[in-house]
Chains A and B, each alone.
Chain A
Amino acid sequence: MITLRINGEDRSVDAPEDMPLLWVLRDLVGLTGTKFGCGIAQCGACTVHLDGKPVRSCVLPVSAVGSRSITTIEGIGATPAGAQVQKAWLELEVIQCGYCQSGQIMSATALLNSKPQPSDADINAAMAGNICRCGTYVRIRDAIKRASGAKP
């Protein structure tokens, strides 16, 4: 059994060591907000935070998590930046199908935590790993600026 700290709670899971965190979260813990998109860290849909840093959970073996604290989309709203991002996402009506948006919100929140006033270049660097097939990028950029307190 491996003990993971997920959204502030300890969870014990019976998972093989090489099992990516994505499938542990989704199939064993039942937190399906974190999404499977590509399985090779190309699309960002599976982004979660380890001690606040964004990681692609589809390629992260669960054994590599260690004692680091995991935050998923289900828990991000409890953080100040996460709540701001969610609010901005709804105010600017960023979302279409929504499937990639868990990952987008996790990446955006991590960005704002490291750079509270991100430039366009910062946004490009932090968000280029997250694909949105509906093409909501224009609004994602505006919403990150809104969440940072800047005018889009």
Chain B
Amino acid sequence: MTRLAGGTEPADPSRRAVLKAGAAAGGALLVGFYLPVGQSAPRQAQAGSGAQRFEPNAFIRIDRQGVVTLVMPQVEMGQGIYTAVAMILAEELDAAFERVVLEHAPPNDKLYGNPVFGIQVTGNSNSVRAFWMPLRKAGAGARAMLVQAAAKVWNTDEASCRTEHGEVINDKSGKRLGYGALVDHTSGLTPPKDPPLKAVSDFKLVGQPLKRLDTPDKVNGKVQYSIDVMPAGVKFATLAICPEFGGQVGSVDDRQAKSLPGVRQVVVLDDLVAVVGDHMWAAKQGLAALKIHWAPGPHATVDSNEVWKQLRAASEQEGVVAKSVGDAARGLSQGERFEADYELPFLAHATMEPLACTVHVRPDSCEVWVGSQVLSRAHDIAAKVTGLPPEKVLIHNHLIGGGFGRRLEVDYVEKAVRIAQKVDGPVKVVWTREEDIQHDIYRPVYRDRLAATLSGGKIVGWRHRIAGSSIMARWIPPAFQKGIDIDAVDSAVDVPYDIPNLQIEYVRVEPPGVPTGFWRGVGPNNNVFAIESFVDELAKKAGQDPVAFRRALLDKTPRLKAALELAASKAGWGTPVPARNGGRTGRGVGVQGAFGSYIATVTEVEVDAAGEVHVHRIVSAVDTGIVVNPDTVIAQLQGGLIFGVTAALYGEITIGKGRVRQSNFHDYRMLRIDQTPSIEVHLVPSGEAPGGIGETGTTAGPPALRNAIFAATGIALRRLPIDRDVLAGKKPAAS
């Protein structure tokens, strides 16, 4: 039987007392008014299941009082996954949903590893996709065992028992037993290998727009993110990392800083300096008062021009063939040939919760408070830095104030642990927004080169060459095989259109010194943008309407075709777009089959004389298979579209003299409410397996926006973010 891990039990009893005190004093470890989310508490060594509680698998625990605790293998960063996971488990378990308790999973790849990656990771929109069946089986298996237990108690057959709302019921005898009352009768039972799953038509919770379990404490300030933790005696630190990529600390004059009230300590490490104080203000003031001489590293002269020059040169070469259908060379020699190149910039994540990590290093143990999308990696890095055995490192995960891929990295954990090694007592390391923007792990620059031939209004040949960094090669090396990054070519190798001859190539190009990482929308971001922009240009070359052109190419992808038809119809495709500001108006479309979801989006824009783009309306139609929580799907589309449109309108990190030029929200801009369009999301009913949703809107936003600008102005933008000077006619569009 699977048992929950007890590996992070602290050896020192006083630490447990601190944890308990923390919980009692601040309500820190309980989140959620209706449904408290528990911290992954230190566990006692488990007696056999059934002694105190029923623990049939890693996800479910039921105590004698009938409290059903559900352990969340995926992290909640706003995407609604805690509610979805709880709904799936409770559905098959027939638990009383309003009484379940949620708990963050402890670090354990074996028990909580994402089946797709094999490690504990929340990303790539695959929480529901990957855990849909495992969670259903976990719930159904537990339910089957509770039925067995009740049948044993009543000395009756299991077939005469059913479950509902946390009880086993025997309709013949009229007897009922709550799950809590059955806990003592579950010992010796083993979970069935293939427990019967509910028919979709019998779902009571899945498919309902149930209220989220994490939001009640988010309206009143009670929710605790990792930046809010306050262990007894905590000090506050903030840091400065060498502003040039790869540089080091040369020398530090800390005399003035140390004289400031509240400043306690200056920690100088190879690559960063941190000031520790009685509060964040003291730490910030202290940092500002330091005179730091940085020793520039090998990338101190890197600038954006060099990055683009290198990327463009590399993209001229043939890449590794990631997919080939028919005879691309022959296809590309028939009919009329068109080519276009699309370029996407570096992007920062800029999660609203700045990076923060609290660490207490003791001689024989280490305790970490963090919000991480990769908890076991965070745990591992703390063990590695301290040299402690893993069981001596206790780590607490938290609700996350925005992940978007930034918290798939553990650099901020590693740095906080190194700082904490120099500090007596717990220290909370909080990054300023400036450090957060200037020392992100950036969405890479990409160059997508497309070529196609048209004959009789159809695409007969297609070549898509993707040039850019391989994140997978660094992040999960086994996934990088034969020179192909499966993320970088995602949505390109499975281009949804009927194309008889195609070739997809990948050229790995690592930007000098600039760290690259996953960013919401991941690989499909650049590919969907390039493909959908290019297809719009091909439609124009063919003299066809962009919706009609796509529809004719989507026979092999009927779910996407249906989504396209629904979006076009709901958006009033073909009707004029009224101007509100006397500008040029247009409607653009984009489709995608990424993340197992089929989405069509129609965007209406107005471009004014100054080249400013006003986004008036976005309509999306979504077929994401079986929907666990429709309101969450709609919310993810709404938010994801804004995330993508924000990047298309404003997002670009540029580099000069080895440094990131942007530093805060004044020069790394975000869309605000006064620029937000109306957004309509229409769900296509489906009985297919659930698709992913968290990334999809981000991928869908930019191409439909870009194509709307194309419709409004006739200007084919091929770079993001949009160039207002080009739209104002002040400079020519890139060819």
Whether both chains belong to one complex is answered with yes
The CA of A98 and the CA of B211, in the complex, are separated in Å by: 15
Closest residue on chain B to residue A104 by CB atoms: B673
Check A37 against B354 for contact (C-beta < 8 Å). yes
Contact A99 B666, beta carbon cutoff 8 Å: no
Contacts of A102 in B (CB 8 A): 221
**Contact across chains for B352 and A135 when beta carbons are under 8 A apart:** no
**CA A132 to CA B639, docked complex, whole Å:** 9
B12 neighbours in A (Cβ, 8 Å): none
Chain B contacts for A38, CB-based, 8 A: 433, 664-665
**B482 sits at the interface (CB 8 A):** no
Is there contact, CB below 8 Å, between A73 and B221? yes
B432 contacts chain A at the CB level, 8 A cutoff:
yes
Cα of A133 to Cα of B674 in the assembled complex, Å? 14
Q: Is A60 an interface residue (CB 8 A)?
A: no
Report A's interface with B, CB cutoff 8 A. Answer: 15-16, 19-20, 23-24, 26-28, 30-40, 42-43, 45, 72-74, 76-77, 86, 89-90, 93, 95-102, 105, 123-125, 127-141
- On chain B, the residues within 8 Å of A128 by CB distance are 672-674
Decide if B223 is an interface residue (CB 8 Å cutoff): yes
Q: Is the CB of B230 within 8 A of A30?
A: yes
Q: How many angstroms from the CA of A27 to the CA of B666 in the assembled complex? A: 26
Contacts of A26 in B (CB 8 A): 228, 280
Residues on A with beta carbons closer than 8 Å to the beta carbon of B78: 95-98, 134
Query: Contacts of B665 on A, CB cut-off 8 Å?
Result: 38, 40, 42-43, 131
User: With an 8 A cutoff between CB atoms, is B80 at the interface?
Assistant: yes
Inter-chain contact A98/B215, CB cutoff 8 Å: yes
Contact of A93 among B227, B352, B635, B674 (CB under 8 A): B635
Known contacts A35-B227, A99-B401, then 8 further A-B pairs from the complex at CB < 8 Å, ordered by chain A residue? A27-B278, A37-B354, A37-B433, A95-B212, A98-B401, A99-B351, A102-B221, A139-B638
Q: Closest chain B residue to A34 by CB distance? A: B221
CA distance A27 to B282 in the complex (A): 11
The docked-state distance in angstroms from the alpha carbon of A38 to that of B432 is 7
* Partner-contacting stretch, out of B140-148, B332-340, B448-456, B640-648: B640-648
Please report the C-alpha to C-alpha distance between residue A125 and residue B671 in the assembled complex, in whole angstroms. Answer: 14
8 Å CB interface, B609-643 against A:
631, 635, 638-643
Of residues 183 through 220 on chain B, the ones whose CB sits less than 8 Å from some CB of chain A are 211-212, 214-216, 218-220
Bitwise, B220-246 to A at CB < 8 A (1) or not (0) is: 111111011010000010000000000
Contacts of A37 in B (CB 8 A): 352, 354, 433
Q: For residue B673, which residues in chain A have a CB less than 8 angstroms away from its CB?
A: 123-124, 127-128, 130, 132, 137, 140-141
Shortest 4 CB-CB distances between A and B: which pairs? A33-B221, A135-B642, A97-B78, A99-B401
Q: Verify B351–A133 contact, CB threshold 8 A.
A: yes
Of A31, A90, A105, A131, which one neighbours B670 at CB under 8 angstroms?
A: A131
B664 adjacent to A42 (CB under 8 Å): yes
CA A27 to CA B402, docked complex, whole Å: 22
**B230 CB to nearest chain A CB (Å):** 6
Q: Which residues of A contact B326 (CB under 8 A)?
A: none
Q: A73 and B635 in contact (CB under 8 A), knowing A93-B215, A140-B673?
A: no
Interface size on B, residues (CB 8 A): 64
At the interface, yes or no: B365 with Cβ under 8 Å from chain A? no
Pick the contact of A31 from B77, B221, B227, B631 — CB < 8 Å?
B221
Return 7 A-B CB contacts under 8 Å, by A number. Answer: A19-B281, A32-B227, A37-B433, A73-B221, A90-B215, A127-B674, A135-B676
Residue pair B664, A20 in contact (C-beta under 8 Å): no
Asked, given contacts A38-B433, A123-B673, A133-B352, whether A33 binds B279 with beta carbons under 8 Å apart, the answer is no
Distance in Å: Cβ of B34 to nearest Cβ of chain A: 10
Q: Are A72 and B236 in contact (CB under 8 A)?
A: no
CA of A51 to CA of B261 in the docked complex: distance in angstroms? 30
Given contacts A133-B643, A135-B641, A140-B673, contact A30 B353 (CB under 8 A): no
Given contacts A93-B212, A93-B635, are A16 and B402 in contact (CB under 8 A)? no
What's the minimum C-beta distance from B681 to chain A, rounded to whole angstroms? Answer: 10
- Give B7 Cβ to nearest chain A Cβ, in Å: 29
Residue of A nearest to B349 (CB): A133
The answer to whether A101 touches B281 (Cβ under 8 A) is no
| Across-interface contacts of A30 in B (CB, < 8 A) | 26, 230
Contacts of A31 in B (CB 8 A): 221
Residues in chain B near residue A135, CB distance under 8 A: 638-643, 646, 671, 676
The reply to whether B219 and A131 contact each other, CB–CB distance below 8 Å, is no
- Interface contact A23-B281, CB-CB below 8 Å: yes
Whether A138 lies near B222 (C-beta < 8 A) is no
Taking a contact as CB atoms under 8 Å apart, the answer to whether B222 and A35 are in contact is no
Residue from B26, B399, B639, B678 whose CB has the most chain A CB atoms within 10 Å: B639
B residues near A129, Cβ cutoff 8 Å: 672
Q: How far is the CB of A145 from chain B (nearest CB, A)?
A: 13
Kindly list chain A residues whose C-beta atoms are within 8 Å of the C-beta of B211.
Answer: 90, 93
Interfacial residues of chain B within 576-621, with CB under 8 A of chain A in the complex: none
Give B236 Cβ to nearest chain A Cβ, in Å: 6
If A26-B280, A39-B433 touch, does A90 touch B641 (CB 8 Å cutoff)? no
Instruction: For residue B2, give the distance in angstroms from its CB to the closest CB of chain A.
Output: 31
Is the Cβ of B212 less than 8 Å from the Cβ of A134?
A: no
- Interface-centre pick from A37, A96, A105, A132 (highest chain B CB count, 10 A): A96
Assess the A32–B228 pair: CB atoms within 8 A. Answer: yes
Residue of A nearest to B212 (CB): A93
**How far, in angstroms, from A93 to B212 measured CA to CA in the complex?**
7
Closest Cβ of chain A to B702, distance in Å, is 14
Nearest B residue to A126 by beta-carbon distance?
A: B673
Would you give the 0/1 interface string for B30-59, flagging 1 where the beta carbon is closer than 8 Å to chain A? 000000000000000000000000000000
The interface centre, meaning the residue of B220, B354, B402, B640 with most chain A CB atoms within 10 A of its CB, is B220
- Chain B residue with Cβ nearest A45: B352
* Among A42, A124, A141, contact of B666 (Cβ-Cβ < 8 Å): A42
The listed residue (A16, A45, A95, A141) touching B219 by CB distance below 8 A is A95
A99 contacts B352, C-beta separation under 8 Å: yes
With beta carbons under 8 angstroms apart, the residue of B26, B223, B281, B639 that contacts A134 is B639
Q: Return the chain B residue nearest A132 by Cβ.
A: B352
Q: Are A16 and B261 in contact (CB under 8 A)?
A: yes
- The answer to the question of B114 belonging to the interface, with a C-beta cut-off of 8 Å to chain A, is no
Give CA–CA (A27, B401) in the complex, Å: 19
B220-A73 in contact (CB<8A): yes
A43 contact set on B, CB distance < 8 A: 352, 665, 670
Are B674 and A23 in contact, CB atoms less than 8 angstroms apart? no
Contacts of A19 in B (CB 8 A): 279, 281
Per-residue CB contact flags for chain B residues 388-404 toward chain A (1 = under 8 Å, else 0) read 00000000000111111
Q: Find out whether the CB atom of A138 lies under 8 angstroms from the CB atom of B219.
A: no
Quick one: given A27-B280, A36-B354, are A98 and B676 in contact (CB under 8 Å)?
Answer: no
Interface centre among B214, B354, B641 (most CB of A within 10 A): B354
A39 with B432: CB separation less than 8 A: yes
Q: Which A residues lie within 8 Å of B671 (CB)?
A: 135, 137
- Verify B354–A72 contact, CB threshold 8 A: no
**CB of B679 within 8 Å of the partner chain:** yes
Distance from B689 Cβ to chain A, minimum over Cβ atoms (Å): 24
Q: A-facing mask of B230-268, CB < 8 A → 1, else 0? A: 100000100000000000000000000000011000000
In the complex, residue of chain B having the shortest beta-carbon distance to the beta carbon of A99: B401
- Is A131 within 8 A of B352, CB to CB? yes
Contact B354 A95, beta carbon cutoff 8 Å: no
Chain A hits for B711, CB < 8 A: none
Nearest-Cβ distance from residue A25 to partner chain B, whole angstroms: 10
In the complex the two chains form, is B215's CB within 8 Å of A136's CB?
A: no
